[in-house]
Amino acid sequence: MAFEKIKSSQPSVVKLLINSMKKERLSHAYLFEGEEGTKKFETALYFAQMLLCTEEEKPCGECHNCRRVRHLTHPNLYVVEPFKNSIRKQQIIDLQNEFSKTSVEEGPKIYIIKELDTINISAANSLLKFLEEPHPNTYAILTTANIHRVLPTIISRSQVVQFSSLDKSLIERDLIDEGYPDEQAKIASLVSNRLSDALSLLSDDFFLETIELVKELYRMLTEVKDSLVTHLHEHGEFIFQSNESLKLFLSIMVLHQKDLLHVRMKYTQAVVFGDALEVSKEIVSRKSKERITSELEEMLSLTSRLNHYINQRLAIDNLLIALERR
Residues interacting with Zn ion, by CB under 5 A? 53, 55, 59-60, 63, 66
Cβ atoms 105, 76 nearer than 8 A: yes
- Candidates 258, 253, 223, 224; CA nearest to 236 is 253
Q: Between residues 57 and 223, which has the closer beta carbon with respect to Zn ion?
A: 57
Q: Between residues 110 and 113, which has the closer beta carbon with respect to Zn ion?
A: 110
First-last CA distance in the chain: 51
Instruction: Report, in Å, the least distance between residue 66 CB and Zn ion.
Output: 3
Strand partners, 120: none
Cβ atoms 104, 76 nearer than 8 A: yes
Instruction: Report, in Å, the least distance between residue 265 CB and Zn ion.
Output: 32
Q: Between residues 58 and 256, which has the closer beta carbon with respect to Zn ion?
A: 58
Cβ atoms 48, 69 nearer than 8 A: yes
Cβ atoms 209, 250 nearer than 8 A: no
> Which residues neighbour 107 within 8 Å (Cβ) at sequence distance 6 or greater?
51, 52, 76, 137
Instruction: Report, in Å, the least distance between residue 46 CB and Zn ion.
Output: 11
3-class state of residue 144 by DSSP: strand
Measured from the Cβ of residue 92, the count of other Cβ atoms closer than 10 Å reads 24
Instruction: Report, in Å, the least distance between residue 64 CB and Zn ion.
Output: 8
Q: Between residues 74 and 157, which has the closer beta carbon with respect to Zn ion?
A: 74
Instruction: Report, in Å, the least distance between residue 47 CB and Zn ion.
Output: 13
Q: Between residues 3 and 207, which has the closer beta carbon with respect to Zn ion?
A: 3
* Rounded (5°) CA angle 184-192-41: 105
Instruction: Report, in Å, the least distance between residue 62 CB and Zn ion.
Output: 6
Q: Between residues 66 and 188, which has the closer beta carbon with respect to Zn ion?
A: 66
